[in-house]
Amino acid sequence: MIILGVILIILGVVLGINIITTIGIILAVVGLVLTILGAVGRGVGGRKTYF
């Protein structure tokens, strides 16, 4: 999810499409939150790691 978010951020900036950049930022933040929760030991949705 983090990688997809970063790719969308880059594409949004290069192509000048703001909605893609916004979606990329949201995906990157959600991915980071899920990764941090998994590292702490608090699984979300029954999983501790999201790829």
Q: Is residue 30 part of a domain?
A: yes
- Residue 49 or 25, more confident: 25
* Distance between CA atoms of residues 51 and 17, nearest Å: 26
Domain count, the chain: 1
Structural domain span for residue 24: 2-40
Look-up: residue for tokens 């969308």? Answer: 8
Residue 27 lies in a domain: yes
Q: CA–CA separation, 38 vs 44, rounded Å?
A: 7
Query: Per residue in 11-33, pLDDT tens?
Result: 999 999 999 999 999 999 998 98
- Say if 51 falls within a structural domain: no
Extended beta strands in 1-51, E state: none
* pTM score of the predicted model: 0.78
